[in-house]
Amino acid sequence: MRKAMLTVCVGVLAAMPLAVRAQDIREVVAMPPGIQHDMLIGMRDHLIVLDTILSHIATERYNEAAALAETRLRASPFDPAKEATFSAYMTPDWKEADAALRQSAQGLAAAIRKLDSDRSFAASKALAGAISNVTVVCVSCHARNRLR
């Protein structure tokens, strides 16, 4: 009995990496190494920006938080020259996610400013929703795309 259980467990463990790989339905977005490098720098910046926005909100530096949301959350480069090159590698799905990120970031900036002006429970609830509207774009693009 124990031996049968062990055989089943080992079998499940051995099959797991394959099963996990089979479930990876993310599309590979092909980009040259230099473009990938710049793109990943931008991605890591997103985490820093989100963290800084939350910390500014916690310390009531609403103007700084809103300005960061307006200017630093997008899934394409900030440098216009790099943006033109990068756009050649953006799939239609990527472009859509980039637009959604920019739009949700504008919504976040507006929600931060609203909380600053009326300081109500409704405004803080709306702000929580606006933060989630941004992070859901990160999560959904990561669920659909990968570099390799």
Binding of ligand HEC by 145 (CB under 6 A): yes
Stretch that binds ligand HEC, among 7-15, 16-24, 36-44, 78-86 (CB under 6 A): 36-44
Query: At residue 12, what is the residue type?
Result: V
Q: Which two tokens stand for residue 127?
A: 């702000």
- Give which of 54, 28, 60, 46 is closest to 146, Cα–Cα: 28
Binding of ligand HEC by 68 (CB under 6 A): no
Among 38, 46, 102, 126, binds ligand HEC (CB under 6 A): 46
Are 108 and 126 in contact by the 8 Å Cβ rule? The answer is no
- Give which of 86, 75, 80, 83 is closest to 45, Cα–Cα: 75
Binding of ligand HEC by 37 (CB under 6 A): no
Stretch that binds ligand HEC, among 4-12, 57-65, 79-87, 97-105 (CB under 6 A): 97-105
Are 14 and 6 in contact by the 8 Å Cβ rule? The answer is no
Binding of ligand HEC by 86 (CB under 6 A): no
**Using CB under 6 A as the criterion, which residues of the chain lie in contact with ligand HEC when the complex forms?**
29, 40, 43-44, 46-47, 50, 73, 75, 94, 97-98, 101, 134, 137-138, 141-142, 145-148
